[in-house]
Amino acid sequence: MKTAALRSLRRRLAADQPVFGLWITLEAPSITEMAVALGLDWVVIDAEHGHLDWKEVVEHVRATVRSDTVALVRLAELNVALVKRALDVGADGVVIPWVESAEQLRQAVAFARYPPEGVRGIGGERATAWGQCLAEHTAEANENVLVVPIIETVRAAAEVPAMSAVAGVDLFYFGPADYSASAGFRGQWEGPGIAAQLLALKDTLRKAGKHCGILATSSEDAVRRREQGFRAIGLGMDAGLLLRALHESLAAVGRDRPLRASLAPVEPPPTPLARPPEALRPDRMEVMNNTGAGPQAPIDRGVVFDCLVGQHNQARRLTTGLVTFAPEARLPYHTHPFSESITLLRGRVLVEVEGRGYELSPLDNVVVPRGLAHAVRNLAAGEEAILHIAMASDQPTRTLVEPVFVCQPMPSASTGRPGAERVNRLRSAPRCAAGPNTEFIDCFNEELLPGLEISGGYGLFHPGGRLPAHVHDFDESICIIEGTATCVVEGRRHTLANCSTALVPRGRVHYFRNDSAEPMAMLWVYAGPQPERILVDERCATVEGGPWS
């Protein structure tokens, strides 16, 4: 145990100074030696996930000897034998996953302390200099050992105030991905609303005099986490940092590609064209549309359509906009001679398709093929509901249908009736990357639902996220539903937020990026049945290299 390093770490935290570290998942102790040589304040050696065995854990711990870098071991579970073993081989503390109660946390502290304060047995291993320094080590271990719980479930959130009162715990880590999974957003780093929940928990702990740590997802995120009040900031995982550098280097030479969970080779992306095909020469400019600036149409009592993209701004085969439902307002059964996409932005609604009732959560989506009778109802008595809708026509019409359907509520996980409507649940929909630091969901297209005339979905841009320069053989509508987006069209830069919507006509070279420190999200819709894009040289998206000038 490096008593001096532990005391130094605690002094810096007490002075509200950030301490930076590295998460170790790879076996080479050279990685930890590099972290020590660069002056990192701590490392966490991950023995919960991955493949590290105890011999490799010891080698990482050994690489921190006679340094000011605190060595912590993340255990697989709260277990007295694992705590004892990690501390006996010389770790300065333990990181305990999945702590959900004050009682569990008190137990973890007891496991890490010698009697009479705890139940740790005295061993003749590295911690006691192989039995040569029993008195010295046992005299200082209880006071200095670090026990760090990870808050990574919704259940744990309710127990945070009680956990903050447990003696012997200075520092709490957060696990955003597991927390998101426990909230129903499996596979997302911070699902909808999770970032705000974690910040609130961090504030609760800081008010109780505790310190909070988290793993940053990028260099920019590390700075943002420091500004948010996190004080033990992981600059990344060793494997993640290596991959990040590889992606950046490969992107610089046009060779970057995503990874698959199977680790099977991924086909390299197509080589960007030097310029778009002449056949795509556009005949219109892009149009940026703010909410309330376009046509407003009452379509039923208490139901108003705010058209953002459509005939009024020369969109072709596409209309998109926002529909606001007053409390308990209902849009009766009707049909369209074209397909329609319905996405809930705010409130609680029930979408019925031929009697099948689907209650939507925010950002859930329902796609209704042409000719299918459907209705929408605001379930809230005191709150508006707002929907984003997209229709495969620039001259939308509807035909009312007699209400001959009896509503049958469908299970909350239902994804629709095969061959008819499709329901996309944000929490469980599969995601892919469309560019660096992005997550995309394909909600509807001809492959997912044969016969559709449009395609589209949801795109999440983490800080620094962007798409490559590209063109389409159809018009596109892009509505910014979270954060602030920069839209670049052939060198012209536009800033969009608060459901502002870009109409990018066929043939215009463009891309979107997130220049902010907060997430940005969009709903995109193509006036074509497949989400096809043609990559072009980045110079085509500049004023100087504009292909149509």
- Which residues are annotated as catalytic? 49
Both tokens of residue 361?
């959560």
Question: With b meaning 16 or more CB within 10 Å and e meaning fewer, what string describes 222-243?
Answer: bebbeebebbbbbbbbbebeee
**Pairwise CA distance, residues 386 & 48, whole Å:** 43
Cis peptide before 362 (omega within 30 of 0): no
The HSE-up count of residue 12 (CA atoms within 13 Å, CB side) is 17
Question: With b meaning 16 or more CB within 10 Å and e meaning fewer, what string describes 270-288?
Answer: eebbebbeeebebebebbb
**At 224, which amino acid appears?**
R
Both tokens of residue 436?
């660096």
Both tokens of residue 372?
């299918």
Q: Give the phi and the psi of residue 9 in degrees, each rounded to 5.
A: -60, -45
Strand order, beta sheet including 296-300: 296-300, 303-309, 319-325, 385-391, 340-346, 365-368, 422-424
Other CB atoms closer than 10 Å to residue 209's CB: what's the count? 9
Based on the number of CB atoms within 10 Å of its own CB, is 10 exposed (0-12), middle (13-18) or buried (19 or more)? middle
**Pairwise CA distance, residues 291 & 305, whole Å:** 11
CB 163 within 8 A of CB 101: yes
Both tokens of residue 109?
């502290």
CB 145 within 8 A of CB 73: no
**Pairwise CA distance, residues 340 & 367, whole Å:** 6
Question: With b meaning 16 or more CB within 10 Å and e meaning fewer, what string describes 399-418?
Answer: eeeeeebeeeebeeeeebee
CB 276 within 8 A of CB 536: yes
Both tokens of residue 280?
């795509």
Q: How many helices (H) and strands (E) does the chain have?
A: 12, 32
**Pairwise CA distance, residues 520 & 522, whole Å:** 7
Residues 6+ apart with CB under 8 A from 36: 63, 64, 67, 69
**CA angle, residues 463, 468, 474, in degrees to nearest 5:** 120
Taking Cα atoms as reference points, which of 411, 412, 338, 340 lies closest to residue 376? Answer: 340
